[in-house]
Chain A
Amino acid sequence: MSSDPAPSVNPFEFNACEETIHEIYHFLDGELTEEKRRVIETHLSQCQPCDSVKRFEVELRQVVADRCREEVPKDLRERIARLINHELDNASSADGAGPRREGNASAH
């Protein structure tokens, strides 16, 4: 294969698309070797159908992550902070350092 930009009737184009789609998750995950990454990136810059798959998958991940945000209920956060403080007290009295007063683990 020459290093010229692929013409639209390039017989290797089909394989290049297959390979790009096959590797698209690894590409987006940033888990390809530098050499492989560059091959896929070059193909994406020249192939509209593959590039639209890439853009779709990027957006899908964003939407999935956005829809899954949660916030710990305030009372649970406080309960956990209290439990940890209690554990700390126990740990320090076991050390012979005497019980400790509350106010150590923070509940933001």
Chain B
Amino acid sequence: MADQSRFGEEAMVYADSLYAYALRMTRNPPDAEDLLQETFLKGFRSYASFTEGTNLRAWLFRIMTNSYINLYRTRQRRPDEIGVDDIERLALFRELGSPSAEDSALEHFTDIEVKMALESLPEQNRNAVLLADVEGFSYKEIAEITEVPIGTVMSRLSRGRAALERALADFVKHRVENGASA
């Protein structure tokens, strides 16, 4: 059983990455702040049920994911998952071609473009991509955080990554269409 008086110190280490996850999910700072605060309070209150020595970071991400669903999910009226498996894969690779060591086209993406592309994904796919590619969680950890089977994590992830490349490729296309040379 974990000691509650140590919770603040132990959990605060993960505040920045939890906040980044909250921002991408809620898409706005005030909601992200509320969600982070809610996650820490819930974490504190249930810390006694946390087994010390297990994965505190994954445990906190699970609390945040659940809190997000409880607080914000019902407000949204758009599909929360990509339902087909035939989206084009590697769309961005096809758009940009293979990277050369000297000039990486990927480096031209701004923070805002990448965030917008991520935020354009349906919720379930976006969360899987964030947890895997931004936070580096394993399939098993993501399955526990989002409370779905590993097979579901894998399909959400591969569809989400395909859609992310598509969204980023669209930015590149628009740049070319607008004749931006800068």
Contacts and interface: CB of A to CB of B under 8 A. Distances in A.
B82 interface: no
Contacts of B28: none
Nearest to A62: B106
A91 interface: yes
B20 A87 contact: no
A88 B99 contact: no
A72 B98 contact: no
Interface stretch (A2-10, A33-41, A63-71): A63-71
Given A52-B99, A56-B98, A84 B40 contact: yes
Interface in B136-182: 136, 138-139, 154, 157-158, 161, 164-165
Interface residues of A, number: 41
Contacts of B24: 68
B161 A21 contact: no
A64 B74 CA distance: 28
Interface string B108-119: 011101110010
A42 interface: no
Contacts of A108: 12
Chain B interface bracket (under 10, 10 to 19, 20 to 34, 35 or more)? 35 or more
Contacts of B158: 25
Interface string A43-79: 0000001001101110111011101111111001101
A25 B99 contact: no
Given A70-B20, A72-B16, A84-B40, A60 B8 contact: no
B19 A31 contact: no
B134 A87 contact: no
Contacts of A29: 132, 138-139
A30 B165 CA distance: 21
Interface centre among B8, B24, B104, by most chain A C-beta atoms within 10 angstroms, is B8
B9 interface: yes
Interface string B87-129: 0011011001011000010110111011100100000000000
A85 B8 contact: yes
B19 A72 contact: yes
Contacts of A106: 8-9, 12
A59 B108 CA distance: 12
B33 interface: yes
Given A31-B138, A72-B15, A80 B115 contact: no
A93 interface: no
Q: Which 7 A-B pairs have the closest CB atoms?
A: A105-B8, A52-B98, A67-B114, A70-B20, A84-B8, A67-B111, A72-B19
Given A31-B138, A81-B12, 9 more contacts: A49-B98, A59-B106, A60-B92, A67-B113, A67-B114, A77-B12, A79-B37, A83-B41, A91-B4
